[in-house]
Structure 1
Amino acid sequence: MATTSGFRPSTAHAALGALFFDPVRPAAFPQHILRFRNQEAARQVGLDGLSDADWIRHFGQFDPLQGSFEQPLALRYHGHQFRSYNPELGDGRGFLFAQAHDLRDGRLLDFGTKGSGTTPWSRSGDGRLTLKGGVREVLATTLLEALGVATSRSFSLIETGEQLVRNDEPSPTRSSVLVRLSHSHIRIGTFQRLAYLGETEAIRRLIDHAVAHYLPKAAREVEAERVPAFLDAVCARVAATGAHWMAAGFVHGVLNTDNINITGESFDYGPWRFLPVYDPGFTAAYFDSSGLYAFGRQPDTLLWNLARLAECLLPFAEQEVLEAVLLRFGATFHEALSRAMLWRLGRGSAGADADRALTRQVWEALRDSGAGFERFFFDWFATVPAGYAGEACDALRDRLSAHPITGTRDDAYFAGGAPCTLLIDEVERIWGAIADGDDWSVFERKLEAIGAMGRALRGAVSHA
């Protein structure tokens, strides 16, 4: 078992007990071609020294990482899907492969998979991931991270040599297995399953586990206040992620309760989109005919999901207390949105009221200008651009005068004159080059461009 000396493994999730997961075996794939390796993330967990052969052995064949699980764990959960409760969910094409500690801050990290084979929760599915789906997830997570969003990180993508049949893309299509790195795979749906089964003591055990490993501020509360503090911490993290989605022009697409985790990280990317232009009604999923998960409805959807978590906590806290926590979500979200918007503009705070007014003015200027979403923020970052006419843009100029410039455009990214975007037609061109000619250069160039964007934004102004 080749690892590097800094790797700090964990088996923390196993301590929850057999009620929470099923030990499973990974699929035996006919082929393993390494297509993406996140070396920066590997350094942060002490695995950067793995050879490509050892990398494939661990993240394509799933030989255990020394000191972590001897067998992968398919996690059990339920969830509301488009607000209809489904008690038949669970890890159907993925599992928790390993856990380890981040070498920078000691936080617990999960190695979760997608496309790693069937489990007891696969139902009629084949447990596989298309290569196109894997490519799309790498692209989405990389750009979201560059834009300051708390997201799972694509750690590894390996093509696996099978031909898959799918209804939503030309078939047969190529297969892959993805490994993602995130701080937790404990979902709102994890709590919902236990509540559905009447497993009250297991909910208590899960709360204690979550507080101990992921939400240490709540751990410092006295017993009577720990559960409200837990809910408050989850709400704050989910609110911050949702706010950064909005500032990034991102539409998740499937905001079911099984896709919201307690650490608030965005994860599990299926039908996602970045906005071409500002449009509150823009949806990412072709099957979202009602617009339930449209761009502008994402904050309300997140709060609805958090209310489902609060319901699971009723055996441990008064309803009025939990409702009071939920009522704070709106203010928390708007504070986070103001911070995210200021970061995107390369500006500093002028006070809470002024910051919120600026955010409202940005939405109006985006709407009235008709500018491309990312183009707008590229042009307005740390400057007041010419070429934006109209009352809303004039009002934005006036608002900006109260906010100090904290960023700088002294970077090759801004000198290039065009923003890095990831609209659906670009994603299709990237995939087309791979599908038609096995040409990965377009994919690799896009990742390089996203990396340059991320370095420019991180270097220009501190994170929100």
Structure 2
Amino acid sequence: MRLGDPFYDMVRAADFPETRLRFRNDRAAAQVGLDGLSDREWVDHFGRFKPLSGSLGEPLALRYHGHQFRVYNPEIGDGRGFLFAQLRDDDDRLMDLGTKGSGQTPWSRFGDGRLTLKGGVREVLATEMLEALGVPTSRSFSLIETGEALQRNDEPSPTRSAVLVRLSHSHIRIGTFQRLAYHQDTDAMERLIAYVLRELYGEEPGENPPVRLLELVVARTARLAARYMAAGFIHGVLNSDNINITGESFDYGPWRFNPTWNPAFVAAYFDHAGLYAFGRQPEAIHWDVAQLAISLRMLVDAEPLIAVLEQFGPRYQAEVSGALLWRLGVIPRGTETDGILIETMEKALRASQMPIDRFFFDCFGGVIPSHYGEHFDTLREQLAEYTARKARDHAYWSGEAPCSMLIDEVESTWSAIDLTDDWEPFHRKVEAIREMGEALA
């Protein structure tokens, strides 16, 4: 992290009573050259936070602001996490290893800086499922139980504690830019833009770096919104401090997968107005990106920024058609018929209340089973013009039911851990998700 002091505070990790390794993502570790670590070395680095050779000497708690449910908050930052290490993956991308539940920082306010074990288990399940479904997401790299009893208002307490490590393509957020605009720090804003363009997008800053950055972020976030919809996923808290500047989803709290195509479905019990409901996620992400544009206004005129923001809608429409056709297992035709088919499909799913996962499982390859009702007649006719992108020859397709991640299954998986310390259902689920990912890839 070459940006310097205005962007972070040096911190120390909590000294946990114990460190019990519960999950290590060797598939992700192989991509950054860390799969050869022994379990003991793994725990030393990701439970005790011994620095990795050649990376950061001390953890950094990042500073940022953000709109939280559209109310601006200048009092936030990394309150229970930090940037632990930076390294390159096998595509030569700069990657971050960041934490959740690693202890208090200057931004903890009244929080204890800890993560519940249930929260860690839920994040592993979310990221594995999203990765399999083609959503750009952070990856749960490590989960270590830490032996503390935590008090929480929204779940039975005391509850078990953990520390999670994420592998992400940066932890820089829209809120990072908002903080600099709030303080009118022009020099730091220019440095941050140049850093993001060079280190995260592989471009040298050109004639108009703020506008170019916004173009890239609009493209990436439009894709993210589209992939959320195709996955049937609701993030739950799409605040501007939760939108990564690379368009990679992260920070999973009250997430859910939608049982049916219900645009009004919400994930967070506290989202009383449905601001981040399933069907409003593209709008929410666009609004957050507009806050980035407002922050960049300190360096550039409004007109070119507005013109770039207006590209979000068309980009999203193209991306959501591609994402849904990918999940349906057919090759896009690249014409307006793609959009017409997607509109027909969404109408059929809403009218029939067909479970989303069941539909995409049964119809992968573009053939709708004969027992599907009249709601799908028009869609069946339209799909006859499409070609399957992949044969149904993977073992996954011979199963009786799709792999899903609805709330009852999440709770059941956690219950086995909570009541009898049985991790077998959790590990079986991760294996099943990865099998589905192989079938879809």
TM range (shorter): over 0.9
Aligned to 2:23: 36
For residue 73 of structure 1, the aligned residue among 33, 40, 60 is: 60
Equivalent-residue separation in structure 2 for 1:335 and 1:451 (angstroms)? 27
Aligned to 2:135: 149
RMSD: 0.9
Equivalent-residue separation in structure 2 for 1:77 and 1:321 (angstroms)? 25
In structure 2, the gaps of 5 or more residues are none
Aligned to 1:461: none
Compute the displacement of 1:399 (Å). Answer: 1.3
- 2:298 counterpart SS class: helix
Q: Which range moves more in the overlay, 90-99 or 332-341?
A: 332-341
Q: Report the number of matched residues.
A: 440
- 1:332 counterpart SS class: helix
Compute the displacement of 1:263 (Å). Answer: 0.4
Residue by residue over 1:327-370, the C-alpha shift from the partner in whole angstroms, topping out at 9 and shown as x without a partner, is 00001011111110111111112223111111111101111221
CA contact (8 A) 2:181 2:298 kept: no
For residue 178 of structure 1, the aligned residue among 164, 188, 193 is: 164
CA contact (8 A) 2:143 2:165 kept: yes
Compute the displacement of 1:222 (Å). Answer: 3.1
Equivalent-residue separation in structure 1 for 2:278 and 2:249 (angstroms)? 15
For residue 83 of structure 1, the aligned residue among 53, 58, 70 is: 70
Aligned to 1:385: 369
Aligned to 2:179: 193
CA contact (8 A) 1:335 1:352 kept: no
1:101 maps onto 2:98 in alignment: no
Equivalent-residue separation in structure 1 for 2:78 and 2:72 (angstroms)? 16
Amino acid at match of 1:144: L
- 1:402 counterpart SS class: coil
Amino acid at match of 1:436: L
Amino acid at match of 1:358: L
For residue 354 of structure 1, the aligned residue among 303, 325, 337 is: 337
- 2:392 counterpart SS class: coil
Equivalent-residue separation in structure 2 for 1:74 and 1:351 (angstroms)? 45
- 1:316 counterpart SS class: coil
Identity of aligned residues (%): 60
CA contact (8 A) 1:260 1:266 kept: yes
- 1:287 counterpart SS class: coil
CA contact (8 A) 1:117 1:127 kept: yes
Compute the displacement of 1:26 (Å). Answer: 0.2
Equivalent-residue separation in structure 1 for 2:70 and 2:206 (angstroms)? 34
1:177-326 alignment to 2 at 5 Å? 177-217=163-203, 219=204, 222-223=206-207, 225-326=208-309
Q: Which range moves more in the overlay, 38-47 or 352-361?
A: 352-361
CA contact (8 A) 1:350 1:402 kept: no
1:373 maps onto 2:360 in alignment: no
Equivalent-residue separation in structure 1 for 2:339 and 2:299 (angstroms)? 35
Q: Which range moves more in the overlay, 381-390 or 160-169?
A: 381-390
CA contact (8 A) 2:186 2:299 kept: no
Aligned to 1:421: 404
In structure 1, the gaps of 5 or more residues are 1-12, 459-464
Q: Which range moves more in the overlay, 252-261 or 342-351?
A: 342-351
Equivalent-residue separation in structure 2 for 1:206 and 1:44 (angstroms)? 26
Equivalent-residue separation in structure 2 for 1:115 and 1:222 (angstroms)? 39
Equivalent-residue separation in structure 1 for 2:301 and 2:335 (angstroms)? 31
Residue by residue over 1:404-459, the C-alpha shift from the partner in whole angstroms, topping out at 9 and shown as x without a partner, is 1112111111101210000001000000000000000111111111011011111x
Equivalent-residue separation in structure 1 for 2:412 and 2:403 (angstroms)? 15
Compute the displacement of 1:72 (Å). Answer: 0.1
Equivalent-residue separation in structure 2 for 1:269 and 1:315 (angstroms)? 32
1:434-445 alignment to 2 at 5 Å? 434-445=417-428
Equivalent-residue separation in structure 2 for 1:359 and 1:330 (angstroms)? 16
Equivalent-residue separation in structure 1 for 2:209 and 2:6 (angstroms)? 23
Aligned to 2:120: 134
Aligned to 1:58: 45
CA contact (8 A) 1:307 1:326 kept: yes
Equivalent-residue separation in structure 2 for 1:123 and 1:129 (angstroms)? 15
| TM-score w.r.t. length of structure 2 | 0.99
CA contact (8 A) 1:130 1:174 kept: yes
Amino acid at match of 2:56: F
Aligned to 1:5: none
CA contact (8 A) 2:197 2:213 kept: yes
Compute the displacement of 1:172 (Å). Answer: 0.1
Compute the displacement of 1:90 (Å). Answer: 0.2
Residue by residue over 1:136-170, the C-alpha shift from the partner in whole angstroms, topping out at 9 and shown as x without a partner, is 00000000000000000000000000000000100
Equivalent-residue separation in structure 2 for 1:197 and 1:68 (angstroms)? 30
- 1:154 counterpart SS class: strand
Amino acid at match of 1:197: H
Equivalent-residue separation in structure 2 for 1:201 and 1:352 (angstroms)? 45
CA contact (8 A) 2:236 2:255 kept: yes
CA contact (8 A) 2:321 2:338 kept: yes
For residue 96 of structure 2, the aligned residue among 105, 110, 123 is: 110
Residue by residue over 1:235-294, the C-alpha shift from the partner in whole angstroms, topping out at 9 and shown as x without a partner, is 110110110000000000000000001100000000000001110000000000000000
